[in-house]
Amino acid sequence: MSLLYPRLLPAEANRLFEVLHQVPSGAHENMVAYQSTRAVFAATGGQRASRDDLQRLRLSVLAVARAQGYPEEPTNAQGAAFDRAVARVLHEQSLLIPGEAAQRQIWAFLALVLLPDVCTWRWPAKPGKGYTGDRFKSTDLTRHALGRLWTRAHVLRDPDADDPYHLLAVMGEADLDQIMARRSALAGSPALVRSIVRAHAEDPRDADGVPSRTVFRQSLIRLLRLTAFMDLDAASATDLYALVRGVRADTRRALEH
């Protein structure tokens, strides 16, 4: 079964984003709602998420936030732990299909109507600048507080592993962003992303002077050059992994000499 989620109309997303700034920090729970008269559903294609569905999802995400210290301001480590756990929650429990999850207005609804308290906790206002629009309005899916987490879980999910979401824990936010921000060339090929992350997990050496992160970032540049003229989507998982490992090994050799 798949669920259709409310799509918040853009004008309403803008209005609620402004309201975020008028509500004192810590009081955004007062904005929480399970419906909006300015949200609509896709006409067909699934069952509409009910109030109970939305409430369940909210409670699950809220439980993760509380486990990471909500409502106290999160440390970087708590923020990262929240992201990993919520990525799994959203992907496992929301029953969103990939087509719906690519609709930006759905994520605007979740951040600004269903979970404004949690999202403002995770991405607090910056002094003098306020909240960041991308994190709430979903103008860029790769930066949205929740949308980017669902996408991450979807791309990294390893159905053959005992824990299908184990790859979520391998990389930090900044490194994963290096992959996910390149939607067309890298993140659009889930098998390639999984291979890159696996290869990173298997090659954590830092002691010899070349940081693992440097090897990772330089190997991404090499892989990007290959994707310009190679079709990696038709490769078997084994061949793809061998290719990625080979590129990473070449990169490390080049950096060490």
Partner 1 sequence: MSVRAWPYRRPVDRVHAEKWQLGVAAGEPLPMALPDWDYTTDIAMSRVVQVDLAELREDCGLPADAGLRLSVRYWPSTSLIKHAAFREILPMRGDKVACEIQVVAEGLDLGGELTIETLLELASDLPYSDPFVATRAGSILWSDQARMHLEGSAGLLPVAPVSFREAGLPPGAAWYVSMDGGDWQQAAMGSLLVLLNEDNPEIRRALEAEKKDAPGDLWGLLEVDIVCDLIGRALDDEAFLDEPAASHEDNGQGITMAGLVRALIRTYLARPGEGVDQAIKRLHDERRRDPSRFRADVQNGIGFPRDGQK
CB 224 within 8 A of CB 183: no
Smallest distance, Å, CB 141 to partner 1? Answer: 8
Number of residues that bind partner 1 (CB under 8 A): 45
In the bound state with partner 1, the residue whose beta carbon lies nearer, of 239 and 256, is: 239
Query: Distance between CA 21 and CA 63 in Å, rounded?
Result: 25
Residue 184 three-state SS: helix
91 binds partner 1, rule: CB under 8 A: no
CB 38 within 8 A of CB 8: yes
Q: 45: left (phi > 0), else alpha (psi -120 to 50), else beta?
A: left
CB 201 within 8 A of CB 163: no
139 binds partner 1, rule: CB under 8 A: yes
In the bound state with partner 1, the residue whose beta carbon lies nearer, of 154 and 213, is: 154
Closest listed residue to residue 88, CA positions, set 18, 194, 11, 168: 168
CB 71 within 8 A of CB 121: yes
What is the Cα Rg of the chain in Å?
A: 20
In the bound state with partner 1, the residue whose beta carbon lies nearer, of 132 and 212, is: 132
184 binds partner 1, rule: CB under 8 A: yes
Smallest distance, Å, CB 101 to partner 1? Answer: 7
Query: Distance between CA 27 and CA 208 in Å, rounded?
Result: 49
> Of the candidates 232, 245, 249, 255, which one interacts with partner 1 according to CB under 8 A?
232
In the bound state with partner 1, the residue whose beta carbon lies nearer, of 19 and 63, is: 19
Query: Distance between CA 109 and CA 144 in Å, rounded?
Result: 12
238 binds partner 1, rule: CB under 8 A: no
100 binds partner 1, rule: CB under 8 A: yes
DSSP state of 47: E
Query: Distance between CA 121 and CA 257 in Å, rounded?
Result: 45
Q: 200: left (phi > 0), else alpha (psi -120 to 50), else beta?
A: alpha
250 binds partner 1, rule: CB under 8 A: no
Q: Token digits for 172?
A: 């930090």
Smallest distance, Å, CB 87 to partner 1? Answer: 16
10 binds partner 1, rule: CB under 8 A: yes
Piece of the chain touching partner 1 by CB under 8 A; list 59-67, 79-87, 98-106, 171-179: 98-106
9 binds partner 1, rule: CB under 8 A: yes
Smallest distance, Å, CB 90 to partner 1? Answer: 15
159 binds partner 1, rule: CB under 8 A: no
Smallest distance, Å, CB 206 to partner 1? Answer: 30
Interacting residues toward partner 1 by CB under 8 A: 2, 7, 9-11, 14, 37-38, 40-46, 97-105, 138-139, 151, 154-155, 183-184, 187-190, 226, 228-235, 239
